Structure 1
Amino acid sequence: MGYIKDLRKKIGTAPIIMVGACVLIFNEQRQLLLQKRIDNHCWGLAGGSMELGETLEQVATREMLEETGLTPHELKLFNTFSGPELYYKYPHGDEVYNVVTAFVCTDYHGTLAFDEVEASAIQFFDLDKLPEEISPPDQVVLDAYVRGMNGGD
């Protein structure tokens, strides 16, 4: 979080455009991996903001490893999300307009673990039994994924 942290020292909590990536990680039972975030106490996808010079695939890979202990063998591009529905105000006051590229990963290795600084739990969920408390920016991504699975646009 070096770039965003440095930027915040200069501009405070003012709204910024924050580019990042997230990963929808599925196990062999087609269950989705979510982490319980410490900052807003909601469940969310593995993901985070881009550092200077990174590709979106590098962001997704780095964040997946840091937040889940898993490393992808392959990432499949799902979609890029932006716009007013991706506005988010963090509990500590920072405001962002997210531009998020979402990837899907079903082929990975590693030992499942979570970053205790950012999360309090990590768990696989059936898509039809997701928790109600989903982190708002991730809800947009999950809604689009489920719509796509159900033949929606």
Structure 2
Amino acid sequence: MGNYIMELRKIVGHRPLVMCAAGVLIINEDGQVLLQQRTDNNMWGIPGGALELGELLEETAKREVLEETGLTVSNLELFGTYSGERMHHIYPNGDEVYIVSSVYITRDYKGELKLDKDESKDLRFFNIDDIPKSINPPDEPIIEDFIKTFKNKDIY
């Protein structure tokens, strides 16, 4: 989580916060989606994170992807906005959030995958039929929509 959220946590403790966030579905030339295995709960999800004060959502998405994967993304297209009960999450440390997340999709990225060992245990591209079952709870509706949208379709 970013500095803004950490500063709020000093004031409110573990109580629920509304957290604005952005993430990116990164698709490679083989139609596979990039997922990261998180260090906090060992589950898989999309790269992304919390909006910082004054930041545009697209800037958040690009910054988080670079920090977490080493990749530079461009040509982001809005895939969907997620909120509500399914985006309620309690982190392993007890911090509680209701996430409002704008999720983008892109096929345009540069760089080599580079693991941020603070946040990620693994980074891997998956075929749509091989996406792991252990998905980070706030990423579940996003991955479900991705599968529904692109299952049995050529995404190029």
Give the TM interval when normalised to the shorter protein.
Answer: over 0.9
Aligned twin of 2:79: 78
Alignment of structure 1 residues 4-153 onto 2, 5 Å: 4-150=5-151
Secondary structure, in 3 states, of the residue corresponding to 2:75?
Answer: strand
TM-score by length of 1: 0.96
The answer on whether the counterparts of 2:51 and 2:57 sit within 8 Å (CA) in structure 1 is: yes
How far did residue 132 of structure 1 move?
1.0
**What is the CA deviation profile of residues 9-44 of structure 1, one whole-angstrom value per residue up to 9, with x for unaligned ones?**
000000010000010011100101111100011011
Q: Count how many residue pairs are aligned between Structure 1 and Structure 2.
A: 151
The AA in structure 2 aligned to 1:73 is S
Percent of pairs with identical residues: 46
> Which ranges in structure 2 are unaligned for 5 or more consecutive residues?
none
The AA in structure 2 aligned to 1:43 is W
Secondary structure, in 3 states, of the residue corresponding to 1:96?
Answer: strand
The AA in structure 1 aligned to 2:108 is D
How far did residue 149 of structure 1 move?
2.5
TM-score by length of 2: 0.94
CA distance in 2, matches of 1:148, 1:121: 25
The answer on whether the counterparts of 1:35 and 1:114 sit within 8 Å (CA) in structure 2 is: no
Secondary structure, in 3 states, of the residue corresponding to 1:144?
Answer: helix
